[in-house]
């Protein structure tokens, strides 16, 4: 059976397909070959994915005649660095890659962001394909073309916009994902419904435990739904000038919590606390009713994500928020829900309300 695209992202008139299908790895070669025909291709991955799944991907690529050049980095955010980029440049330039030679990203968001950056800059831009392997990368990082690496001065400070030519998502790969990483991805799924889809939220809040039980049919539908939301937002605003900022719901608080915790909290855990803090702030601003805030909190709890007990110094978190790269003209911008399924951007929130919102997630 041919792989069926579930969404087409049309950014700047270069549309690309996103395919979500259990087992799609086995057919990756034929699908990629159609989109980016070439004799050689690169695969950039980390040691964990190389051990678990690289042989299967290589087999599928070799079956359609690709000569595969691999570059493998150690796993984890600590390796989202220029050194890892260099590992890719060295491996691919040693094999005389040309402008038309595709590079495949095979891993979570860390691998995806680095591979995208390599593809954006190698020979001033080569095609790249995303095969995300974490839930977060499937529903968020692999769609939209944001690529980059970290710098000692902060996360994602170096990067480029470079859209993939295709995204292949195999929900079966989630079976080996550590549960904490799975829950982290669910935070972004909850976020998508709060910013865009009240009807789906009403289903999600009663069914999200099926994701935790690794129900693959459920996860397939969930991923397809989330990819479609992300695709629509990115199409409307590829360079984050307007509505793409809605995807930052929960992230103004979340990023600051992540920084101050020195990454002891997972990204999705920080976003979970951030979404609750932002929703409570919206309630204090009389933008949203308390019942909706309770539903948001309960859904986050049902996903096994934290809803309180944040044990970080509030002044430090407030300081980190002021240094966020999305602060504009000294004003902190918040994405706040005025109902489930809809958000607005506010940059006029009094600091005492911000502090109270943070305090509310310490209890």
Binding-site ranges for ligand NAD (CB under 6 A): 46, 48-49, 52, 75-77, 80, 107-111, 113, 133-134, 136-137, 140-141, 144, 146, 155-156, 173, 176-177, 181, 184, 267
Calpha distance 231→293 (Å, rounded): 26
- Residue number with CB closer to ligand NAD (46 or 205): 46
- Residue number with CB closer to ligand NAD (37 or 76): 76
Residues sharing a CB contact under 8 Å with residue 153, sequence separation 6 or more, in sequence order? none
Min dist CB 329 to ligand NAD, Å, is: 24
Calpha distance 14→26 (Å, rounded): 26
Min dist CB 181 to ligand NAD, Å, is: 5
- Residue number with CB closer to ligand NAD (155 or 200): 155
| Residue 213 near residue 335 (C-beta atoms within 8 A) | no
Q: What sign does the dihedral 133-136-140-145 (CA atoms) show?
A: negative
Min dist CB 19 to ligand NAD, Å, is: 17
- Residue number with CB closer to ligand NAD (110 or 120): 110
- Residue number with CB closer to ligand NAD (184 or 283): 184
Min dist CB 39 to ligand NAD, Å, is: 29
Q: Which tokens belong to 281?
A: 């702030």
CA atoms within 13 Å, Cβ hemisphere of 189: 36
Min dist CB 109 to ligand NAD, Å, is: 2
| Residue 204 near residue 299 (C-beta atoms within 8 A) | yes
| Residue 312 near residue 321 (C-beta atoms within 8 A) | no
Q: Closest-CB residue for ligand NAD?
A: 109
- Residue number with CB closer to ligand NAD (3 or 75): 75
What DSSP string runs through 81-147?
SHHHHHHHHHHHHHTT--TT--EEEEESHHHHHHHHHHHHHGGG---EEEEE-SHHIIIIITSS-EE
Min dist CB 266 to ligand NAD, Å, is: 8
């Amino acid at each position: 059976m041919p792989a069926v695209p579930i969404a087409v992202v049309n950014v700047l008139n270069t549309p690309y397909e996103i395919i979500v299908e259990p087992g799609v790895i086995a057919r990756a070669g034929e699908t990629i070959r159609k989109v980016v025909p070439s004799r050689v291709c690169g695969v950039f991955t980390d040691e964990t994915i190389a051990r678990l799944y690289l042989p299967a991907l290589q087999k599928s690529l070799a079956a359609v005649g690709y000569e595969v050049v691999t570059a493998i980095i150690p796993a984890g955010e600590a390796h989202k660095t220029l050194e890892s980029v260099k590992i890719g440049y060295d491996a691919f330039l040693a094999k005389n890659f040309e402008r038309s030679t595709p590079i495949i990203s095979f891993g979570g968001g860390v691998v995806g962001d680095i591979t995208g950056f390599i593809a954006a800059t190698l020979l001033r831009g080569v095609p790249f394909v995303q095969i995300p392997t974490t839930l977060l990368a499937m529903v968020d990082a692999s769609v939209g073309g944001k690529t980059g690496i970290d710098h000692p001065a902060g996360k994602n400070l170096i990067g480029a916009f470079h859209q993939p030519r295709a995204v292949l998502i195999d929900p079966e790969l989630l079976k080996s994902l550590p549960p904490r990483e799975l829950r982290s991805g669910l935070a972004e799924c909850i976020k998508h419904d709060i910013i865009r889809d009240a009807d789906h939220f009403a289903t999600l809040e009663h069914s999200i435990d099926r994701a935790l039980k690794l129900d693959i049919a459920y996860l397939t539908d969930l991923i397809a739904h989330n990819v479609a939301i992300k695709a629509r937002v990115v199409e409307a605003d590829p360079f984050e000038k307007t509505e793409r900022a809605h995807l930052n719901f929960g992230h103004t608080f979340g990023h600051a919590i992540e920084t101050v915790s020195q990454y002891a909290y997972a990204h999705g855990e920080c976003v979970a606390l951030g979404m609750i803090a932002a929703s409570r702030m919206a309630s204090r601003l009389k933008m949203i009713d308390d019942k909706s805030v309770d539903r948001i909190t309960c859904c986050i709890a049902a996903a096994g994500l934290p809803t309180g007990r944040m044990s970080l110094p509030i002044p430090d978190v407030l300081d980190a928020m002021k240094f966020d790269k999305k602060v504009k003209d000294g004003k902190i911008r918040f994405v706040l829900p005025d109902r489930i399924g809809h958000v607005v951007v506010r940059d006029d929130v009094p600091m005492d309300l911000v502090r109270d919102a943070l305090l509310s997630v310490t209890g």
